[in-house]
Structure formats: structure tokens, C-alpha cells
Structure 1
Amino acid sequence: MDDFDLSPELLATLPPVLRAVVRALGYGRAQEWLRQWGGLLINLPKHHTRALGLTDDELQRLRAELAPHLDSNDRFSVPKIDKLWIKHRNSLINANKDWQSASHQARAYHLTVRQITNIRREGECDDRQMSLFD
């Protein structure tokens, strides 16, 4: 798989099809693959083909993870990468908020200080909700 995979908590927040792609390919490879195929309705072949840029092993893992999401013609809508990027970016912003200023993060992520503040606030709300159920 990948040197860098998403935490189970962050993975759980992704939409089901996106979560299946990340589980099958790993975070880095999923990013690369979604950048090329995101937003399209594709047929996921049963046997290896170079058309989708997947190895045989990747194709088999993807088919296994996506099985509940494939239609009767083995097609599925490939999610765009935006949700994956946003979730990951926001988790990094919240994880580093104690040692990075909002201004520094705004520059690093090409956002405004107000957007950083809102992301941090949402992260605090999520943390409070999680602790209610612990």
C-alpha cells in the first residue's frame, strides 16, 4: 500500500465510495488515481487492463472494496478528489493549530485567516461531539 495512509478517524468521515478507493489504493496512490479519473462514470473491469492505470493487484483490491457500490454493469461514479483534499487539509490544520499561527496556516494552505479560524472552530465542535460518545 502506501507509506502515508489516513487515520481511521479521518477515513471514517469520507463518503463511502471515496473511503473504498483510499482503502484499496492507499492515500497517495488514491490521490494520484482520483486526480486522473475523478468525476467520471467508469466501468471497473474484472481482468487487468492498462486502460485505468491500475496494476492487477490494485484492480482486484479496488473491485473488492467497491463491490457494494458497483451497478449491474460494474460501473461506478469516481468521486472527485476535492473531498479527500479538504478533509485531509482540515485535519492537518487542526492537528497543528497549537504550534502554527492562523496567519502561517493561511499562507501555507492558500486560505484566509477567517477560513482557518472556521476550520479550527469546526474541529473543536467535532472533538466535543466525539467526547460525548466516548
Structure 2
Amino acid sequence: MPTINQLNDEEIEAIRSTFTPVMRAIVGALGIVRAQEFLKQHGGTYITLPKHDGSRLGLNTEELTKLHQALADHLRNDCHIALPKADRIFNVFRNIELRLNRHQYTLNELATMAGISSRHVQNICKQVKVDSLQDDLFN
């Protein structure tokens, strides 16, 4: 199945536009792959973003600086912030992978690879048809 690295900039930007402002800021600061790793580890929690040493969070100095700049409007005075869960990133890319591979694998194979039900895979793949149909109707 394709990975995040195989998507072009336009596709990544379209995905990024669906994220919350905090998640967009994190992805903008760290890049989509690194943001996914960071949020997989720390997402869904409140953290205090340190000012100088980000090693406790697995961040190097450059990443920490970029995060402070990107999250400036979202940080409380004590640099406290609620980090979003990484599920949104995983689900968006999982859904893209499922749609790209819907003609190469069976419904059950896709469901097993993604760890979701066959019915869920079917609904995800149908979304494309509904979205493109709506575009044709209204454009």
C-alpha cells in the first residue's frame, strides 16, 4: 500500500486543510511524517512545551523552536497545550490507501490490512463516488 511519502504536495495540502488549527500548526512545524510520529506518542494529552530542552518529548532544538513559533497563538501563558490525537492523520491516509487499492485487493483483504470491518472499507470507498458525483452536479 502507498505511504504518506508517495503523495504529492497538492494531495498533502488538501489533507492538511481538513485538520484542526492546532494539528495544522504541528504538521506545518514538523512535517506530516514527523507530526504523525510525535502525535502518536503524545497526542490526546495536555503537555507543557518546554522552552529550551525538548528531549523529554523527543524533540530536537530546531523542532522545539518551530513548534513554539507555530503554536504561539494556541499556547497558554505557561506553554500548556492539549495535543490532538494522531487518529485523524492515520485515518485520512488509511482512507486514501484504501481508495487507491480498492481494485487491487478484495474487500476482505483491505479490511484485514487496515484493521477495520469490510463494511467500513465499503463505506470509505463509496465516499469517493458520492463526492465526485456531487462535484459533477454542482460544478
Same fold (TM over 0.5): yes
Figure out how many residues of one structure are paired with residues of the other and give that number. 132
- The CA deviation at 1:116 is 0.6
Query: For residues 116 and 63 of structure 1, do their structure 2 counterparts lie closer, same or farther at Cα, with a shift above 3 Å needed?
Result: same
Aligned match of 1:12: 17
Distance in structure 2 (CA, Å) of the matches to 1:120 and 1:26? 27
Q: Which one of 107, 114, 117 corresponds to residue 109 of structure 1?
A: 114
Distance in structure 1 (CA, Å) of the matches to 2:71 and 2:138? 29
Secondary structure of residue in 1 paired with 2:56: coil
Q: Which one of 49, 60, 66 corresponds to residue 61 of structure 1?
A: 66
Aligned match of 2:123: 118
Aligned match of 2:50: 45
- The CA deviation at 1:27 is 2.4
C-alpha RMSD over aligned residues: 2.4
Aligned match of 1:22: 27
- The CA deviation at 1:37 is 1.1
Query: For residues 54 and 95 of structure 1, do their structure 2 counterparts lie closer, same or farther at Cα, with a shift above 3 Å needed?
Result: same
Aligned match of 2:95: 90
Gaps of 5+ in 1: none
Q: Is the CA contact (8 Å cut-off) linking 1:18 and 1:84 kept in structure 2?
A: no
Q: Percent identity?
A: 35
With the length of structure 2 as denominator, give the TM-score of the two structures.
0.79
- The CA deviation at 1:101 is 3.1
Secondary structure of residue in 2 paired with 1:76: strand
Q: What amino acid sits opposite 1:111 in the alignment?
A: I
Could you give the per-residue CA deviations for residues 103-122 of structure 1, whole angstroms, max 9, x where no partner exists? 22112112222111111122
